[in-house]
Structure 1
């Protein structure tokens, strides 16, 4: 890895992001999710990792609500995180997560949710224990949460509409 940089995604990156998602996951579902989240206006933060002018990594956080007792608390959902397979193991995924967390905290976000490998996301502070009190179609060991301050510990997780299409 030479001069890798991380920056906000731009409309010019759409095709490159689609390719990274398809290569990383070996299917089109995650790329479709990204398109639907961006198209639906549900994106809170979207970053790309660029190496020698090529997009080699991508992370997206979308708006998520925690509904509890008639109240709604804004949170974010990390999905997806993707790195070109030829760049796996180079630290790009971790760099994207860390940079995104810095930006989200600066923006005042208090709670992030991810559905993923506990061993991987646990390195960044996510835990199932923190997410165990939430009602979700995705509840299980892979559902993890990370809080940066006062945030609900229970309630119904309400994902952006694009996630319903992914589960269908």
Structure 2
């Protein structure tokens, strides 16, 4: 649970820290935030809420996560999500963010493989409709946040060029 909450918290802390850095002074004034940042905030909140609700559902319904499933989820978070998050942070502040495009895509694909493994091997047969909806909402939120970030970092030139 902590691992899934950490990126959102670290993202907020990073924004506060970056607001005082050259090139990121626009962070002081929310009216100057690009649309991508609002999408990241909204989609990330939706994803995090779905993750918390899924965790709560497991607790209240008494659904036990087996050791193999736990390992697969931990691998997806620590072996995919964390490196991806760190690459995204580095690309966000780099002068030449496009240098990070290939590593980001490689780690993103690896993360998707790990998530698909977890979903297809462990969740496909066990999850009811409610839990499947929570998983899809979580993944759709992360996907929307990633795409908004990618547009900001690799397409938008206003803040980087």
TM-score by length of 2: 0.33
Q: Flag the structure with higher helix content.
A: 2
Higher relative contact order (CA 8 A, sep 6+): 2
Q: TM-score, normalised by structure 1?
A: 0.32
Choose 1 or 2 for highest CA Rg.
2
The answer to which structure has the higher strand fraction is 1
